[in-house]
């Protein structure tokens, strides 16, 4: 359609809107986990059992909370963009495996799978023009 033909020149704006939207949502989702302290981190880090890691659950839970909270911030500003996306992909893989392991099926795991696909794709796309990394 002719109305959409000129939108291609706003790719970087669209990428910025995507980064801001996902980043804000991950900060909102991750901060309560980060603020949950060692008790919350232990429960969250226990999720690593799905990949055979059953040691240091406090550490793994803290890292997941940091990945979501600060990964969201790094996504917004476009700093350390690809490493942040890689950590978020890993976090979403674990989340999907936890849901599948609990018997939630694809319906329960779909949100984590979808976000994992988005973050994996963003690794290749890069942060765009409006970012600190500017790549």
> Residues with Cβ < 8 Å from 103, sequence gap 6 or more?
none
Dihedral angle computed from the Cα positions of residues 89, 111, 36 and 68, in that order, rounded to the nearest 10 degrees: 30
Confidence category of residue 119, pLDDT binned at 50, 70, 90: very high
* Cα(90)–Cα(94) distance, integer angstroms: 6
pLDDT one-digit tens code per residue, 40-96:
999 999 999 999 999 999 999 999 999 999 999 999 999 999 999 999 999 999 999
pTM check: above 0.85: yes
Tokens of 135: 């790549």
pLDDT exceeds 70 at position 31: yes
Phi, psi (5° rounding) for residue 131?
A: -155, 165
């Amino acid at each position: 359609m002719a109305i959409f033909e000129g939108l291609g020149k706003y790719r970087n704006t669209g990428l910025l809107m995507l980064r801001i939207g996902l980043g804000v949502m991950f900060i909102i989702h991750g901060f309560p986990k980060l603020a949950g302290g060692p008790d919350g981190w232990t429960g969250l880090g226990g999720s690593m059992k799905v990949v055979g890691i059953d040691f240091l659950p406090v550490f793994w839970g803290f890292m997941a909370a940091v990945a979501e909270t600060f990964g969201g911030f790094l996504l917004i500003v476009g700093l350390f963009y690809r490493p942040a996306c890689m950590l978020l992909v890993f976090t979403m893989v674990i989340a999907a495996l936890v849901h599948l392991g609990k018997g939630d099926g694809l319906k329960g795991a779909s949100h984590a799978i979808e976000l994992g696909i988005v973050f994996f794709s963003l690794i290749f796309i890069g942060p765009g023009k409006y970012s600190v990394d500017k790549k």
